[in-house]
Amino acid sequence: MRDYNAFSDAALLPLLKEGEVLAFNEVYARYFRLLYQYAWNILNNEEECSDAVQEIFVWLWENRSTLEVTSLKGYLMAAVKYRLARIIQTSRRRAAILATNVEMPTITRIDEDFEVKELRKVITEFSETLPQRARKIFHLSRVQHLTNKEIAARMGISEKTVENQITIALKKLRSDLSKKMLSFLLL
């Protein structure tokens, strides 16, 4: 068994190209810590550094037969540098994507929109059942948001009449809504 740690990089390269596993193990033992430290100085992320260096060694083993390397150390350092550049570029792209605020309608929001539409429909249907004058007072109060005083002036009636008509209409509406909610819950 050969003692590969005594071999120079130049002597290890041809053995590595031939698929000598022990030569590869020596290259790994010789350069892993150096490459990891280089990656750590740039990324400061243990997992990403380890993955990047491991990927370089996997690539080195898989492509060993086609290597055209004059300086193993320089080659490995450059490979790690380019791998780190890709990692940084990818993480920046990922961060930019995550930073964009895309508003997705939530189920709750969709449900709320549906409930509001249903409530408006029920109120509209209810207001159509009111006598004409009560319907107009209710519409001016709840849709056009006029005050009791403004409604009274517009219709030529007393404020007290407006107040009474709105009170009666709201009581009926509450009663109708209670019945509809009860029937809805029983479904």
Tell me the pLDDT tens digit for each residue of 101-159: 666 555 666 667 777 777 788 788 888 888 999 889 988 988 888 899 999 999 999 99
Provide the whole-model pTM: 0.52
Q: What is the mean pLDDT of residues 13-32?
A: 94
Where exactly are the structural domains of the chain? 4-99, 107-186
* % of the chain at pLDDT higher than 90: 50
Tell me the pLDDT tens digit for each residue of 67-98: 888 899 999 999 999 999 999 888 888 888 77
**Higher confidence at residue 33 or residue 109?**
33
Whether domain 4-99 has CATH 3.90.1150.10: no
**Higher confidence at residue 36 or residue 124?**
36
185, 178 in Cβ contact below 8 A?
no
Q: What is the pLDDT of residue 75?
A: 93
CATH architecture designation of domain 107-186: Orthogonal Bundle (1.10)
